[in-house]
Chain A
């Protein structure tokens, strides 16, 4: 199958640690040192309590599919977009890869894998666990 080119994420000072970790095959998740809540996508200031004491944590890298859709028209290669709810309780936008896209289901257990972007850092995706 033809490979899909992934647009490179634009790395900035606020998100650099996340993508540096991705380059080493690690998924980071932000946790607030004040209110204790996890959040995604990561911010410098907690979106729940506005504390600046947010910290990077290693995510377990497993979760379940919250929702998904396979885009089949208007693109060279069909692909599966999804929200995966991480073990830590927050959901992240991602792709489901390395499987038959017709078997993807809401509630399916998945684990993280990393795929190269086009000229940028790799990005976390998920595959059936």
Chain B
């Protein structure tokens, strides 16, 4: 145990996922406000209780300054760490740190975006400005989200013999869960064959290996124990967290390993638990390969055995050994703002509260893990791991 720790210092008291999947008639800022309101109502708190605010690159304007003013918050602590889709897991960990140090009592984390209405997809380049040091060596070659992750999948297949059928099982499991989620974009249960028969987007990833593009958002409220225990919600506390960036290492590539190897190890060490103790996992599923790599790096199976691990329905709640993404995940439910970390934490909170859909609720779910990656596994990414416990 580290000398100082966030273990048990903060509770996830509010969680809200926006039901929209196409928000043509709303602004991005409005979606942020709506999810904030939803999370406060879920917690039983009011806007005036918030004294810490966390947001990432999806928040419009000058980071938290624009949003705090727009939302009408009075806060004494801000954090706009941006590691792409995993930012919100890091925000939860940073909120716990701030609470432990007395910098705030009730932290709000928001995410929202409209990529579906605005016409963004994973086959288009994203531009981040002329001063990006890596862009001159990457943009001319047409690196986009899909082919970046596809290169990871291709290398994983080469090194370990992972197959397209094994990857397809990740989507099949997600679809089994999504059929019970009335808000999910894709509710049809699919088969391995249907995944393999879907159009090839970027070898070896088929369309059904890719997550959806959706509008929406989500919010979380993190509070100190004394406040959490006065609320009327089931108690979910954070007991371990880790974060790790990983890149190209100056050209010495190891594409089949993600930052989860470090963020996961740190979170398990802080929580004092091991992978076999975890009852439910939310694993960022930008693509099917993303899940396989992260499960290996977190230690749920050995490196290279992720394909075998996810096959034959092992991730399906009720029948598999490790139920994952019981809301349908990014592959079937939603992927608001092209950033899937927020919804990973929300579904883990639902599971720990016993508030997941009855058909996918994990029995006696006392310990859950949420894992996110953001940016691109094929170039550079952030990884974050949270371990949460029902009290």
Contacts and interface: CB of A to CB of B under 8 A. Distances in A.
B356 interface: no
Interface in A52-72: 66-72
A30 to B, nearest CB: 9
B155 interface: yes
B155 A71 contact: no
A100 to B, nearest CB: 14
Contact of A15 (B136, B147, B152): B136
A71 B151 CA distance: 10
Contacts of B252: 89-91
**Range for the number of chain A residues in contact with chain B:** 35 or more
A46 B249 CA distance: 11
Contacts of B137: 9, 15, 40-41, 92-93
A37 B220 CA distance: 45
B131 interface: yes
A84 B135 CA distance: 17
A103 interface: no
Residue with the greatest number of chain A CB neighbours at <10 A, chosen from B141, B151, B207, B253: B141
A85 B141 CA distance: 16
Nearest to A44: B133
B24 interface: no
Task: From A11, A38, A79, A93, name the one whose CB has the most chain B CB atoms within 10 angstroms.
Answer: A93
A68 B140 CA distance: 16
A77 B24 CA distance: 31
Interface string A82-98: 11010001111111000
A117 B139 CA distance: 11
A121 to B, nearest CB: 9
B121 A82 contact: no
B155 A67 contact: yes
A71 B204 CA distance: 10
A26 interface: no
B251 interface: yes
Query: In the complex, which of the residues B123, B140, B202, B207 has the most CB atoms of chain A within 10 Å of its own CB atom?
Result: B140
A36 interface: no
B276 interface: no
Nearest to A82: B151
Nearest to B134: A41
A47 interface: yes
A22 to B, nearest CB: 10
Interface string B236-265: 000000000000111111010000000000
A123 B251 contact: no
Contacts of A74: 121-124, 146, 201
B200 A83 contact: no
A17 interface: no
Given A37-B250, A73-B200, A83 B255 contact: yes
Nearest to B132: A10
A109 interface: no
A69 B150 contact: yes
A66 B253 CA distance: 9
A69 to B, nearest CB: 4
Contact of A90 (B130, B133, B251): B251
A28 B187 CA distance: 51
B253 A83 contact: yes
A33 interface: no
Contacts of A107: 158
A84 B341 CA distance: 31
A75 B140 contact: no
Contact of B202 (A66, A72, A83): A72
A73 B207 contact: yes
A14 B155 CA distance: 31
A81 B154 CA distance: 12
A107 B154 CA distance: 12
A106 B136 contact: no
Contacts of B200: 72-73
26 contacts: A4-B142, A10-B135, A12-B130, A37-B250, A41-B134, A41-B136, A41-B137, A41-B251, A43-B133, A66-B155, A66-B253, A67-B151, A67-B255, A68-B203, A69-B147, A69-B202, A70-B202, A71-B144, A71-B146, A72-B201, A73-B207, A74-B121, A83-B151, A90-B251, A93-B141, A120-B140
Interface of B: 121-125, 130-131, 133-144, 146-148, 150-155, 158, 199-205, 207, 248-253, 255, 379
Interface of A: 4, 6-12, 14-15, 19, 37-41, 43, 47-48, 66-75, 79, 81-83, 85, 89-95, 106-107, 117, 120, 123, 125
